Amino acid sequence: MQYFDSFDWGRWSAPALSGLRIVLIVALAWIAIAMMQRAVRVVRLRVQNRLGGTDGASRAETLGRVVRYLIALVVSAVAVMLVLAEVGVSLAPILGAAGVVGLAIGFGAQSLVKDYFTGFFLLFEDQIRTGDVVNIAGIGGSVEDITLRHVRLRDYDGNVHFIPNGLITTVTNMSRSFAHAVVDIGVSYRESVDEVMAVMAEVGAAFRADPVHAARILADLEIAGVERLDDSAVVLRCRFKVAPLQQWTVRREFLRRLKAAFDERGIEIPFPHITVYAGIAKDGTAPSLPLRMQRDPNEPALAAGETAS
């Protein structure tokens, strides 16, 4: 204390003191941002541990990233204003002009304001998290990043889509709690529906008992029955209750196993049927419909007494 009392502060010029204060403001702002962001990370980890599970971790990470961004923005803005005041720039006109400009920007950039409000409620209501598979604004894909301004999606082809939050009116989230792998099976009209459903139930039970896929399937196969009668097929509908994001894997594997079972049992998977209509003349007679079989020129000619197989 005696050293500071005896120090001749008068030897320091005003510009030097102003520069020292500016450096101090910048340093304190940097320290404040670092400490507050570190505190946010600590809180995020505690909330994540309390919530538990992948969903809780994803939500805590998304909210934590947005809060850290806001902290850096607010502290930086305060530091800039203090530095401007230190160099002799009056803040009153700047704040007044900023209010007018902000009002003008608010009217001219309503879509931007809408983006931020929608983004806030998307995060606050936990509608979307990083890693979710969603369908928004007519585009489906995996959420790689979500901010107050936009959502970044990557679709199955690897294309990246940046969707402003203001365009999001409906969120279809396909990765919450559980999903259903819905499968429509078409069989020929000649087949017995009861026999086909029995084969489906048998394949579904074996599929769920497979240890490789047991963790993906949460319940036994649920057969709804006949869904519709198409032109060439009887369509049966069934579904599995599965873990999040496993509906596509389960559906593809079940279809593969069911195709093998149908081939083994001789159950026909239908193909389109075409009826050829030759027309009717005015007198009621039907014109002849000539048909001719043409042999492939690459096949060997048949010997005498042989018939085509």
The tens digit of pLDDT for each residue in 49-96 reads: 766 655 566 667 767 777 787 788 888 888 888 877 777 766 667 666
Q: Are 163 and 139 in contact (CB under 8 A)?
A: yes
**Greater pLDDT, 51 or 221:** 221
What residues are paired with 162 via a beta bridge? 152
**Which value, to the nearest 10 degrees, does the dihedral of the CA atoms of residues 128, 129, 130, 135 take?**
-30
Q: What is the pLDDT of residue 4?
A: 47
Tokens of 154: 């990557």
DSSP, collapsed to helix, strand or coil, labels residue 250 as helix
Beta-sheet strand order (sheet of 234-242): 179-187, 234-242, 222-229
Q: What is the pLDDT of residue 9?
A: 47
DSSP, collapsed to helix, strand or coil, labels residue 8 as coil
Residues of the chain with CATH 3.30.70.100: 179-265
Q: Which helix (H) or strand (E) holds 48?
A: helix 14-51
Tokens of 297: 């020129």
What residues are paired with 160 via a beta bridge? 154
Mean pLDDT, residues 229-244: 92
Model pTM greater than 0.85?
A: no
**Greater pLDDT, 76 or 124:** 76
Q: What is the pLDDT of residue 274?
A: 72
Mean pLDDT, residues 196-225: 93
Is the domain spanning 179-265 CATH 3.30.70.100? The answer is yes
Q: What is the pLDDT of residue 56?
A: 60
Q: What is the pLDDT of residue 113?
A: 76
Distance of CA 287 to the CA centre of its chain: 59
Residues of the chain with CATH 2.30.30.60: 129-173
C-alpha–C-alpha distance, residues 82 and 75, integer Å: 11
**Among residues 144, 176, 132, which one has the least CA distance to residue 65?**
144
Is the domain spanning 129-173 CATH 2.30.30.60? The answer is yes
- What count of other Cβ atoms lies within 10 Å of the Cβ of residue 82? 17
Report the percent of the chain where pLDDT is more than 90: 33
Q: What is the pLDDT of residue 177?
A: 85
